[in-house]
Structure 1
Amino acid sequence: MLLCAVVASALMFADHRFTRMEEVRAQLTTVVAPIQWLVAVPSDVLTWGSLALSDQRALVEENRRLREQVLHLSHRVQHMSSLTAENVRLRELLGAAARLEADYITAELLSLDADPFTHQMVIDRGRRNGVFVGQPVLDASGLVGQVTAVSAYSSRVLMVADASHALPIQVNRNGLRFVLQGSGDYNALRVMHVPDTADIREGDLLVTSGMAGRFPPGYPVARVTEVVHDPGQPFARVTAEPVARLQRSRHFLLVFPPEPAPVPDDEIWDQELPDQLGADTPVATATEEPD
């Protein structure tokens, strides 16, 4: 230690008195730099690893929250286009019941059906999550399909592009109702039995009509891409493209349609019968025999 102290003192004195020592110090720094780097490697690796893990966890959590937020906002926005047209038709109706907002859960894609002639997929939600057969499935853009089979932890979904799938729709612009059927092509759907004189145009948005109670009304399904009028034929050939990203989406919404409020039978009888018979028409009761 004494020798090292003497040498250090001599070097400091020489560095202070002679300018040539700056070049020697620069060369020594170059020689010692790899040693300093090797000594600092373990500390740098530990610091980088802790930051990477914490950042990764934060990014994964933030990404999950953002995906759910996007789906939630898309679910709320999808009604806007249909509500705008609907408000025009219903503006004169006072006291109309408000549309109930449907509940939903999120789901993620597990696998796609390997059969090239079917368009089905498996998602990671099942009976334990409340999924049921016939439940509508949407992505951030529109209707994807409906659940056809349910197990405890997964479900099978039939997409709207499948040739065996059909659903009632309506033209958002004017409310005309038709049936939309899959064609086996992800990018083409067929609007069935459209009269040649029907007011349907390219670019029209097709939304669920709510008929039969399977799909809630107002969700976008497809957009008309082609309308062909064949002279002499009673029906036009109408082709539409799905608005949902059937081949790219990985996260979905499973919608629980709101149940309509039940109306007691006696109220229906009391309200409808006088309207049908007239205000002055006597109504026979169960204890009276009609003349």
Structure 2
Amino acid sequence: MKLKKKKRTLIGWVYIIVIGVAVLFFMKGLLLFGMKKLNVLILPIQSKIYTTTEGIRENFNTILKYKDFFYENRELKAKITSQEYKDELIADLTAENVRLRQLLDLKGQMEYKTKVVKVSFQHVQDTYDGFVIKAGAVDGMKVNMPVLSGRQLIGKITDVYENYSVVKMITGENSYVSALCRDVIGIVNGEREKDLYFRPTSSLEEDLKVGEELYTSGISDVYPKGLYVGKISEIVSANNKLEKRYKVKIDTNIYDFQEAIVLMGDV
């Protein structure tokens, strides 16, 4: 009786074990099937995450590369700007050197004691009225000293300070210069514009022609004789000889006027 009972118990455990193994195999298959389905569902998400991550990484690398490119570009621009500045400076110095050589050559041809000075200021509204030079009382400047631009008479000193002086231009308003055009004497006056106007005071003006040059007459106590004033560019009016006027063109470009020559007296 006891033997049969033990046998039944043993058979029961065998069934339980077999059933358990079968359940495990079933669960394993079910688990593998579920994992496959889950992978199918998750794969697009994983692909999207991977693509996004790669995009972020590429964008980050692009940002880093752009940053490097930005700094390289800025350095390159700085070098180019520096080189352009150097080239411009060299060009300015070369041009200045040429101008100074010309002024010194002209200075050597003059019969007066002269001084080459820098033009330091021109007021935009008074372009044809006056300017300031970087030379004053300490440099020997005095009121009424004539001032030239190259060979062109440009004005006279009206105010002198310690380190600078003010020049009144012959193109300025109420500026008058006694001048000669060949044997014809007259008055040149300015009207705050780029041209001068010559009004003859003799009866010989009928022979004057466009292109003829005018020089100071020497009658004035300020301007010595023979300084170049300009050349006739146009006959303005010819109603009668008494009213005839001539437009006179000066050679100096007032907008590119950087140095001047001051006549300080006889050598």
Task: Give the deviation of 1:119 after TM superposition.
Answer: 1.3
Give 1:1-291 correspondences, 5 Å limit.
66-76=98-108, 101-116=111-126, 119-171=129-181, 174-186=182-194, 188-194=195-201, 197-198=204-205, 199-228=207-236, 230-232=238-240, 234-258=242-266
Give ranges in structure 2 of 5+ residues lacking alignment: 1-78
Over residues 23-60 of structure 1, what are the superposed CA-to-partner deviations in whole Å (9 max), with x where a residue is unaligned?
xxxxxxxxxxxxxxxxxxxxxx9xxx9xxx9x999999
Give ranges in structure 1 of 5+ residues lacking alignment: 1-44, 80-100, 260-291
Q: Do the aligned partners of 1:168 and 1:180 also contact (CA within 8 Å) in 2?
A: yes
The residue type paired with residue 69 of structure 1 is R
Q: Do the aligned partners of 1:109 and 1:124 also contact (CA within 8 Å) in 2?
A: yes
With the length of structure 1 as denominator, give the TM-score of the two structures.
Answer: 0.55
- State the identity as a percent: 18
Task: Give the deviation of 1:115 after TM superposition.
Answer: 3.6
Q: Do the aligned partners of 2:150 and 2:260 also contact (CA within 8 Å) in 1?
A: yes
Task: Give the deviation of 1:190 after TM superposition.
Answer: 1.0
Q: SS where residue 179 of structure 1 aligns?
A: strand
Q: Do the aligned partners of 1:161 and 1:185 also contact (CA within 8 Å) in 2?
A: yes
For 1:197 and 1:62, the matched residues in 2 are separated by 46
The residue type paired with residue 106 of structure 1 is V
Over residues 152-189 of structure 1, what are the superposed CA-to-partner deviations in whole Å (9 max), with x where a residue is unaligned?
00011111110121111111xx2322111002111x11
Q: Do the aligned partners of 1:138 and 1:254 also contact (CA within 8 Å) in 2?
A: yes
Task: Give the deviation of 1:216 after TM superposition.
Answer: 2.1
For 1:103 and 1:72, the matched residues in 2 are separated by 12
For 2:200 and 2:120, the matched residues in 1 are separated by 36
The residue type paired with residue 132 of structure 2 is V
Q: Do the aligned partners of 2:128 and 2:254 also contact (CA within 8 Å) in 1?
A: no
The residue type paired with residue 160 of structure 1 is I
Give the direction of change, closer, same or farther, for the CA distance of 1:124–1:207 in structure 2 (3 Å limit). Answer: same
With the length of structure 2 as denominator, give the TM-score of the two structures.
Answer: 0.59
For 1:118 and 1:65, the matched residues in 2 are separated by 26
For 1:249 and 1:141, the matched residues in 2 are separated by 13
For 1:219 and 1:203, the matched residues in 2 are separated by 17
Over residues 5-29 of structure 1, what are the superposed CA-to-partner deviations in whole Å (9 max), with x where a residue is unaligned?
xxxxxxxxxxxxxxxxxxxxxxxxx
Aligned partner of 2:8 in structure 1 is none
Aligned partner of 1:9 in structure 2 is none
Q: Do the aligned partners of 1:196 and 1:229 also contact (CA within 8 Å) in 2?
A: no
Count matched residues: 184
